[in-house]
Amino acid sequence: MTCLEKVNQYLARIEEKKDLNIFLSVFTDEARQQAALVDQKIAAGTAGALAGMVVGIKDVLCYQDHPLQCASKILDGFHSQFTATAVERLIAADAVIIGRQNCDEFAMGSSNENSAFGPTLNPHDPSRVPGGSSGASAAAIAASLCDVSLGTDTGGSVRQPAAFCGVVGLKPTYGRISRYGLAAYASSFDCIGIFASDSATVAKVLEVIAGADAYDSTASRREVPAYSQRLQAPAKARVAYIRETLDSPGLQPEIKAAMEQKLDQLRQQGHEVSEVTLPLLDYILPTYYILTTAEASSNLSRYDGVRYGYRSPNAQSLEEMYKLTRAEGFGKEVQRRIMLGAFVLSANYYDAYYTKAQRVRRLIKEATDAIFAQHDFIVLPTTPTTAFALGAHNEDPIQMYLADLYTVQANVVGIPAISIPVGTDQDQLPIGLQIMAQSFQEEQLLAFATYLENLS
Ligand code: GLN
């Protein structure tokens, strides 16, 4: 099949699956033109490493002269002025960008319901959410609307929707992929992540987009291994599982069973599987929500109606213009987080919340490092439940936050983690298994994930 034929097939399917509300923009003509160009390059033998790969991007990644709204009304009418480094590198490797994908507003959420454009539906069961915040990016892979999606993961937003949609989702080490051109939510947590239907494809994309970037000083200068050439199974892995994650009362029994079955299989294959404990588990979510809301309240102060995006037409004075713009432009969840963040950073409470959470972050990192001193990988569920029904947690944000119970650790610590599908529950909804590794061990992580994918 030519690249153009493939793009045309995807375009037809995107149209057919419109009701799932996955794409906010489809770059129809451009994608066709790019595909035709790639076909010529393939014929001439000059095509790049990702020639013909069709990619969708989450609506928080800049793509020059294309709309960017972070699924928020506050960015109404905004077009990117430059292209994110990760997207730029995809294009340079001859991938085709097919469109912009829905998400939770400013990547805040676990269900894709906090979008100014309405929720995305789960392709496995449209009465369920696809997860979030990169819900549509995961759903696009599950519904076969593109080969790869780029999402972002600040607390689980790639892995949790990957689990809910039955696809593979990688959050790399903090700093492995440049954040230049990614609209900031919580800068010390934000990572660009990759969705595909298998880890081998994720590896191919990672080796193209990772690496140093003059535009992001937090992007690591470490060399980028040829991940896709290093997917050989490990001879003997030392695998830890965290007792508290499997004992948690909120864990759906079928997910626990799926984890135990995989761990048994690993034992039978001669790997060393041991139990470890992490008494700090209960503190990870509160730490995450204190630090990320603090960072968000600062990052989102730039949306003031003055320079770009939405401006309230109802204001009579300058101060009212700021207030009404932000009150009308941001959704409820974003407003809640800006207020929480402003509160924890306020002079009277700074030490009690922000400083303390920074210290707990350090303790969680030390506890995680201690596990990795003896083990290569930590295996745990990606989520406590499979995809829940639309509207299920609308009244109770804490219930929604619990969806990230197992994913936030990797972000608080900065380590890489991947979710891969491991079967389904009794409603045929996908279950995700998560693997975490030490910082910058994406090579080992992807090889082990590939091994587990094939271990049936
Ligand atoms: N669901 C989490 C949150 O709402 C994670 C979001 C993310 O990773 N972007 O903060």
152-166 pLDDT, tens digit per residue, is 999 999 999 999 999
Examine the pLDDT at 188 and tell me if it is beyond 80: yes
Q: Is any ligand 1 atom within 6 A of the Cβ of residue 105?
A: no
Mutation test residue for ligand 1: of 60, 61, 102, 108, the one with most atoms within 8 Å of CB: 108
Q: pLDDT tens-digit profile of 63-100?
A: 999 999 999 999 999 999 999 999 999 999 999 999 99
Tally the domains of the chain.
Answer: 1
Kindly give the distance from the C-alpha atom of residue 234 to the centroid of ligand 1, in angstroms, as a whole number: 32
Question: What is the model's pLDDT at position 170?
Answer: 99
* Host domain of residue 17: 1-456
Tokens standing for residue 256: 């626990």
Q: Cα–Cα distance between 48 and 50 in angstroms, integer?
A: 6
Centre of ligand 1 to C-alpha 158, Å, is 9
Q: State which ligand 1 atom lies nearest to the alpha carbon of 292.
A: 10
Helix (H, G, I), strand (E, B) or coil at 56: strand
Alpha helices for 108-165 (secondary structure H): 135-142, 159-165
Q: What is the pLDDT at residue 233?
A: 86
> Do the bridges between strand 417-424 and strand 168-171 make them parallel or antiparallel, or are there none, so unpaired?
antiparallel
Average pLDDT over residues 419-433: 98
C-beta of 341 in contact with ligand 1 (< 6 A): no
At residue 395, the pLDDT reads: 84
219-259 tens-digit pLDDT: 999 999 999 999 998 889 999 999 999 999 899 999 999 99
Residues assigned a catalytic role: 58, 133, 157
For the question of whether the overall pTM of this predicted structure is more than 0.85, the answer is yes
Ligand 1, atom 4, lies closest to the CA of 109
In single-letter form, the type of residue at position 247 comes to D
Q: Residue 117: CA atoms inside 13 Å, Cβ hemisphere, count? A: 27
> What is the DSSP secondary-structure string of 416-432?
-EEEEEEEE-TTS-EEE
Mutate to test the pocket of ligand 1, among 70, 103, 104 (most ligand atoms within 8 A of CB): 104
- Ligand 1 atom 10: the closest Cα is on which residue? 108
Q: Mean pLDDT across the stretch 16-26?
A: 98
Q: Which atom of ligand 1 is nearest to the CA of 400?
A: 1
**What is the per-residue pLDDT across 314-371, written as a single tens digit (0 to 9) for each?**
999 999 999 999 999 999 999 999 999 999 999 999 999 999 999 999 999 999 999 9
Using the mean position of ligand 1's atoms as its centre, give its distance from the Cα of residue 404 in Å: 7
CA of 340 relative to ligand 1 center, distance in Å? 15
Domain of residue 451, CATH code = 3.90.1300.10
Residues in the chain, total: 456
Q: Which residues of 333-370 are buried (b: 16+ CB within 10 A; e: fewer)?
A: bbeebbebbebbbeeeeeeebbebbeebbeebeebbee
